[in-house]
Structure 1
């Protein structure tokens, strides 16, 4: 009983401390991930002073749930249809970014001389951005409407997909394979696991949708968590990372009609348990160990800055953007966060060089501070990019032909405007395919806004015809949201004659 009380006090204290440091840091523009990690460092057993959690193992299960929820929610954020919706230029930009940063990270890993397995882990730590911090920066800087933002979002989506493949490739490293045959077997099992889940995501959506089809939010959450944790556990049992299983089951559920509800219902779980994951990671870090690898951390941060800017320039050239677009792309995807720490945590659990944990912690902290500063300063920093490298686009905002712009454009949240936004994705097999906007007949107070198709975004018209893979944005008054969702669901199931067939979307 006494042990249970201590565990509850430690867990409650961890949640409370994470909330307090986030409340103090967010108003001054600091991302929450490094703040949670820093709280764990300061209140852990390796730092003199008050120790909140003396034994990190006490929070290990809750921290692993945080990892599962982080990757599960990441999978929920997009579906397999997004793999082909970005266009070749977007895929090329993301490919260049990954090749430069993963390749540069691998070269850095070998240069550090910590070992071959460690080099591949360092490549992942250095090579993949934090989708959470990137998205947060785009919102805070009011750049969601910028032309380069679609490129940035495309890069982080493809990065998120790549991480599942990279974790599979690293499975022999993280599993401690002792020879080539064992390594090949580990990769084969990981990819077979991915293949089975991918087939379910592609062809089993109907059965998964039937399982999740209920208006009871409690049942939806319980079923989703059961699927996520069970799949993660199955992956771990097969010698595959639990992170892969959680990500893939999220990807499967993203293709179901309940995806939007699941994102809303599981978002608090991701944030709450995710905070404990980062806090727990901080508990394992010794500040002295971080200082011991400070030169390597600074070398990695400098390499990342250079490679991110180069990738931004290449992406800007591919999309006809100017120097400001190049700077915004390169500097916005500069920050590292959740995946770097996830990978370091898995590497430590696999018994690799313990310096990896200190390296990842210091590296994430440095870029978490440097990244937001660079993003806010991008209009000024963009002028340092030679014009000949990025001939397209326009000059950094602020002046036009030497004359200051006298224009103030602000943004407002949909909540402030009293409007809800629905995202409708036309999935394979949906009866929405082939329906004209004039036939959709949404309730009064609901207005179709934008249509995303094949990487391009356009306004809709009555003669616009929906196709598989389309993403339709519908603006609706809160009072009409429920009726709008029911109408869309009815057409999804029964087509444009849903009303005559008696399908009301319930």
Structure 2
């Protein structure tokens, strides 16, 4: 674990000197020091870091929930639902069509629909934090789309598992979906009406007790959610949403920062451990086509979201590029597909697709102003701004325009 922290820090510092984002560098550290590349192997089995990686994901989404206020849901819930549904329709629909076009099988197509359709909550969160865009006006719709995706994810996983494994039948599928939906409703009720009571339970002046309390709550609820078929990510988000609206919310935001950053690095390092670059050449063309489809669908989704919210070219470009990444959920699907004995090409395809987008998305998000110039009205908006120096582009990439 110590080696993982040091390797991630070393590469991130090195990349920071030339303006590269940390996410692909953390992933690169895992690839180079994992069992799937030649040279020194720091960790033989990616499962050795599985619990720490899960904690990194939980803390990233918990922090995201802390930054998301109940007022945002009450005032913008309808727009968020429309934007999130449109995003899913475009991306999941395109993924399903691509899966059938490949001809690998119906179950494989259903898996690919999820792989191409769902953004990486962890990478999206890290991009927003690193770019300093948490307070931007387009960030609320981005978070809303993630919430809609995670709700869809809970239902999708509940339905997909029995389909690809051929077990349980319709009754079991409906039971799993009902169980997942019931747990989501319980969390929503707690977020809507339980904030006062929960706030009193977490009221303490001792920072040590507060850290133990919110960390325990986030991890426990996420673990229970996973047991009942709900993504641990959305459970962590909901816990953050609840605690962020209590009197202790501001202190929790300050206290969670170092935990979030440290374990997020391990999450992305562990992500890299699971990727085998040597398998990529066998599926390189399907991977490149899938990447092109995802970029196109994200641009269309960004334009649709901008139309709903009345955004200009720069916020539109931010939406389209920030949601581009695919990650932890795609790897979960790869594991499920392998366990169900589906087409062996799925695993290297998913690994290559995720790796390319995990690298491209942070780079594209950091330079979204290039895309903004090509969107309707973009050149006029760019002409109104002072010309930036190259280093200013990197230092100011996170500022709202």
Same fold by TM-score greater than 0.5: yes
Runs (5+) with no aligned partner, structure 2? 396-401
Q: Does 1:171 align with 2:158?
A: yes
Q: Does 1:312 align with 2:307?
A: no
Q: Deviations over 1:323-372 (max 9, x none)?
A: x34762454335305xx224423651572556555434433432344445
Aligned counterparts, 1:471-490, within 5 A: none
Q: Deviations over 1:55-103 (max 9, x none)?
A: 2232222222223223322322213432232375565444433322232
Aligned counterparts, 1:70-469, within 5 A: 70-86=60-76, 92-129=82-119, 130-136=123-129, 138-139=131-132, 149-150=136-137, 152-169=138-155, 170-174=157-161, 177-320=167-310, 324-325=313-314, 328-329=317-318, 331-333=320-322, 335-337=324-326, 340-345=327-332, 347-348=334-335, 351-352=339-340, 353=342, 356-371=346-361, 374=364, 381-382=371-372, 384-385=374-375, 390=376, 395-399=379-383
Q: Structure 1 pair 54/369, CA: closer, same or farther in 2 (3 Å)?
A: closer
Higher relative contact order (CA 8 A, sep 6+): 2
Q: Structure 1 pair 325/207, CA: closer, same or farther in 2 (3 Å)?
A: same
Which residue in the other structure is 1:14 paired with? 4
Higher strand share: 1
Q: Deviations over 1:379-403 (max 9, x none)?
A: 5555655xxxx4xx56444436xxx
TM-score (norm 1): 0.66
Alignment counterpart, residue 38 of structure 2, candidates 43, 48, 53? 48
C-alpha distance in 1 between matches for 2:365 and 2:104: 32
TM-score (norm 2): 0.82
Asked whether the 8 Å contact 2:8–2:25 carries over to 1, the reply is yes
Asked whether the 8 Å contact 1:93–1:315 carries over to 2, the reply is yes
Moved more, 205-214 or 309-318: 309-318
Moved more, 117-126 or 288-297: 117-126
Q: Deviations over 1:107-153 (max 9, x none)?
A: 223333445454444334333444225425753xxx889xxx52x31
Runs (5+) with no aligned partner, structure 1? 1-10, 414-506
Asked whether the 8 Å contact 1:281–1:345 carries over to 2, the reply is no
C-alpha distance in 2 between matches for 1:220 and 1:269: 13
C-alpha distance in 1 between matches for 2:40 and 2:264: 23
Asked whether the 8 Å contact 2:147–2:234 carries over to 1, the reply is no
Which residue in the other structure is 1:38 paired with? 28
C-alpha distance in 2 between matches for 1:287 and 1:95: 33
Moved more, 302-311 or 189-198: 302-311
C-alpha distance in 2 between matches for 1:345 and 1:249: 22
C-alpha distance in 1 between matches for 2:353 and 2:35: 21
